[in-house]
Chains A and B, each alone.
Chain A
Amino acid sequence: MTTLVGQKAPAFRMKAMVKGEIGEVSLDQYRGKWLVLFFYPLDFTFV
């Protein structure tokens, strides 16, 4: 695996739970903002 630092962030579009509703998130919607994208192993564990 090579680092992503300095590269374009890989595009994504995923279903998401947003404040109790099912919606969608995509990389495009954060253009023009800083984005902290973080991954965690599983729901019902700590993050």
Chain B
Amino acid sequence: MALSDSLPEFKKRNAEVVAVSCDSEYSHLAWFNTPRKQLGVAGIELPLAADFTKAVSRDYGVLFESNGISLRGTFLVNPEGVVVSETVHFFPVGRSVDEMLRTLEAFQETEKGLVCPVNWSRGKETINPRKASEYFDKVK
């Protein structure tokens, strides 16, 4: 739900967000029709995709075979269709929308030929690989 609420942040960066589980589309619809206070996602804006055959989860390496459900895997795919980032959490811990946005923004910076050093986030300095000394000269 937090992701759906942040959808405008992704959309304004030319990014779309799609959620996938091994449930059927009818389960997704029932979830959509359930109020948030009852663990529902009423009105969620994100598409919820039905990987009912588990083939997509398997292809992406996030199908946990012992119980047949998907791990919390997050993949960032660039406009050419190449995966540039993957993060997989085990079941008990949710993911960070801030980190997803940071990763997206960082990869978009790299489209300008720049690279993003450790702990980079929006507004911080990037490195121009051709003039890397300009960055490292400022390092204390």
Contact = CB atoms under 8 A, between A and B. Distances in A.
Interface residues of B, number: 68
Interface string A6-42: 1111101011111110110101001111111111111
A14 B50 contact: yes
Interface residues of A, number: 40
Interface string B10-30: 100111111111111111111
Interface of A: 1-10, 12, 14-20, 22-23, 25, 27, 30-47
Given A9-B75, A31-B79, A40-B72, A15 B49 contact: yes
Interface of B: 1-3, 10, 13-34, 39-40, 44-45, 47-52, 55-57, 59-62, 69-86, 91, 94-95, 100, 104, 107-108
Contacts of A10: 56, 59-60
Given A1-B61, A10-B60, A20-B29, A39 B45 contact: no
Given A15-B49, A16-B48, A39 B84 contact: no
A12 B50 CA distance: 11
Interface centre among A3, A8, A25, A41 (most CB of B within 10 A): A41
A35 B28 contact: no
A39 B89 CA distance: 10
